[in-house]
Structure 1
Amino acid sequence: MKEVSLSLIGFGNVGKGVAEVILNKNQYFKEKYGLDIKVVSITDSTATIWDPEGIDLKEALEIKRSFGSLKFWGSEYDIYDLKPPDVVEEVESDVIVDVTNDKNAADWHLKALNNGKAVVTSNKPPVVFRYRELLETAYKKNVPYLFEATVMAGTPIISLLRNALFADSVERIWGVLNGTTTFILNCMEEGMSFEEALKKAQELGIAERDPSNDIGGIDAGYKGVILHNIAFHPFDFKKASIEGIERISEKEIQENIKKGTVTRLVTLVENGKVEVRPIKLPTNHPLAVKGTSNVALIESDLLGELVIKGAGAGVKETASGVVSDIIRASLETKHL
């Protein structure tokens, strides 16, 4: 049995989802992969809980749900005022798991890699803005740097592009990569105004309190750059052409429906190009998804068209991508 210790940084919805998967499927991971995964530290925005023997995840989840913060934990565990860079430096763990929205996380990702620790993340900005540096450091230190959940949640487009299409040259990728905008456009197709659709998405937790990154196309642009980084070479986000859905009117949506078309926020990725813009599509087009589903159409020289579709949002769906990467990192890391 291979023992693997994790530092879980971020204990919001996705962090709690990751903890639940590890808690509920621990025996399954032991039997299928020979991995005994234990979480030795958990960090939220207020505190870090740390126990080298492993934290009781059931209790951690109960504390978080009851009190909203790890700082209210009782005397069973010591409570530390450790920020992510401190956790990386001071806590002995094999894998750093970043499920935060920290835009500066690349700095402590690099510190972890340089310390010989694998890094698994769902946090997009490090992979968008510091991709080359992170991958080169991971290669030099011979430790994994994995980020499946940054695009399409747990739907494994990253693994597909990195590990499955060795013989193919990718020519372009078309994708509907932001579930929030698809949900809003769906609601508008059903007769809602943009404001009503956005409010509904926020009430259901599909849209953030500040939805600007989603409706402005920034999130889809981030994901397009990540796909470009993998399929071609590192891409400068400033060179991406991005248009959101803010200017689309209810009248335009209804007229499209009468013509048998729908509008989706589509990301196009080609060698040297990332574009995000609303596009009219026939209702039977592979990209004309509904709800919060994501879809990508990959065009390559040998396979032709390959469509990958799945959940692009959701706690358990994102946790699926994160935990899959944890397992992959654990199996790949030789010194564990």
Structure 2
Amino acid sequence: MREVRLSLFGFGNVGRAVAEVLIGKEALFREKYGLEFRVVSISDTSGTVWLPEGIDLREALMVKENFGRLSAWTNDYEVYNFTPEEAVREIDAEVVIDVTNDRDAWRWHLAALRDGKGLVTSNKPPLAFHYEELVGEAERRNLPYLFEATVMAGTPVIGILRENLLGDSVKRIKAVLNATTTFVLSRMEQGIDFENAVKQAQELGIAERDPRGDLLGTDAGYKATILHCVAFKPITFDEISVKGIVEVTADEVKRALARGRKIRLVATVEEGNVRVAPEEVEGPLAVSSNENVAVIETDLLGELVIRGAGAGPKETASGVVSDIVKASLALRGG
């Protein structure tokens, strides 16, 4: 049995979902992989709880639910005011997990790698702007740097591109990668105006309080950038073309429906060319609800369609936890 020390950054919806999976599938990890996970630190915006012997995850979840912040846990644990970079250097962990939205997290990702730690993340901007530096650092140090949950949550499109299509040359990827825009456009197809469709998405927790990153295409652009980096070569978000759905009109939606098509925010990824824009689509790309889809065209396999949930805490935790297992096995040499 191999014990693996984990350091968790982010204890919002996704972080708590990861904790719940680690609790609920403890026996599976032991029996199937010979792994026992010990979470030695958890950080949220209020501070870092650190216990080398291992944190009681059930208690951590209860504190967060009842008080909304880990810093309320002062009776049982000391709460440290580390910066993330200080935490990854100070805390003795083998795998660092980043499920935050910290745009500057690439700095402490590098710090973790340089300190000999593997890293698992669902955080998109570090990869969308610093992929080459981060992945290069991990490769030089022979450390796992895994990011399945950055694109399509737990639907394993990154794994397919990185690990499975090794003899194929990818020609093109066309994908619908943002659940919020799909929801809004689906509601517009039902006759609901744009503003009310966005409001419904917010009420259901599909859209953020500030939904501009989704509606302007930024989120899909981050994901498309990462797909290009994996399928072809490193680029940055600044090199791609992005147009969101804010200018899509009700009349355009109706005309598309009359032609048997739907408007979706589509990412087109070709070597040296990434663009995100609304398109009329049919077939596999005409997804609904919170589904994402990627159509991968290769020279040998032809057309591969991968479709699944692209959002949600549980779905994202699926990708994160899978990467935690992979990272742990890689560090073990298993």
Matches of 2:224 and 2:259, distance apart in 1: 29
What one-letter code is carried by the residue in structure 2 that aligns with 1:150? T
**What pairs up with 1:5-20 in 2 under 5 angstroms?**
5-20=5-20
Tell me what 2:176 maps to: 176
Report whether the alignment pairs 1:294 with 2:292: yes
**What pairs up with 1:56-75 in 2 under 5 angstroms?**
56-75=56-75
- Cα deviation code 1:53-102 (max 9, x no counterpart): 11000010000010000011142211111221111011100000000111
Tell me what 2:77 maps to: 77
SS at match of 1:186: helix
Tell me what 2:312 maps to: 314
Matches of 1:322 and 1:277, distance apart in 2: 28
What one-letter code is carried by the residue in structure 2 that aligns with 1:60? A
Tell me what 2:33 maps to: 33
Matches of 2:79 and 2:238, distance apart in 1: 41
Matches of 2:54 and 2:320, distance apart in 1: 19
Shift of the alpha carbon at 1:334? 3.6
Tell me what 1:331 maps to: 329
SS at match of 1:54: coil
Matches of 1:335 and 1:303, distance apart in 2: 31
Matches of 1:173 and 1:281, distance apart in 2: 14
SS at match of 2:285: coil
SS at match of 1:333: helix
Runs of 4+ residues over 3 Å off in structure 1: none
Question: Structure 2 length as normaliser, TM-score?
Answer: 0.98
Tell me what 1:276 maps to: 276
- Cα deviation code 1:179-229 (max 9, x no counterpart): 110011011111100000000000111101111110101111111110000
Tell me what 2:95 maps to: 95
SS at match of 2:214: helix
Structure 1 unaligned segments of length 5 or more: list them: none
Q: Would you say the 8 A contact 2:130–2:236 is kept in 1?
A: no
Matches of 1:281 and 1:7, distance apart in 2: 42
What one-letter code is carried by the residue in structure 2 that aligns with 1:219? D
Shift of the alpha carbon at 1:335? 7.4
Tell me what 1:124 maps to: 124
Shift of the alpha carbon at 1:254? 2.0
Tell me what 2:208 maps to: 208
What percent identity do the matched residue pairs reach?
56
Superposed CA RMSD in Å reads: 1.1
Matches of 2:36 and 2:236, distance apart in 1: 40
What one-letter code is carried by the residue in structure 1 that aligns with 2:195? E
What one-letter code is carried by the residue in structure 1 that aligns with 2:111? K
Matches of 1:78 and 1:63, distance apart in 2: 14
Tell me what 1:196 maps to: 196
SS at match of 1:130: helix
Matches of 2:239 and 2:166, distance apart in 1: 27
What one-letter code is carried by the residue in structure 2 that aligns with 1:315? P
How many residue pairs get aligned? The number is: 334
Tell me what 2:241 maps to: 241
Q: Would you say the 8 A contact 2:119–2:145 is kept in 1?
A: yes
Tell me what 1:49 maps to: 49
Quickly say closer, same or farther: Cα 1:54–1:335, change in 2 above 3 A.
farther
Matches of 1:334 and 1:142, distance apart in 2: 12
Matches of 1:224 and 1:252, distance apart in 2: 25
What one-letter code is carried by the residue in structure 2 that aligns with 1:180? T
Matches of 1:10 and 1:335, distance apart in 2: 28
Shift of the alpha carbon at 1:173? 0.2
What one-letter code is carried by the residue in structure 2 that aligns with 1:331? L
Matches of 1:140 and 1:281, distance apart in 2: 42
What one-letter code is carried by the residue in structure 2 that aligns with 1:213? G
Report whether the alignment pairs 1:153 with 2:153: yes
Larger deviation: 250-259 or 31-40?
250-259
SS at match of 2:39: strand
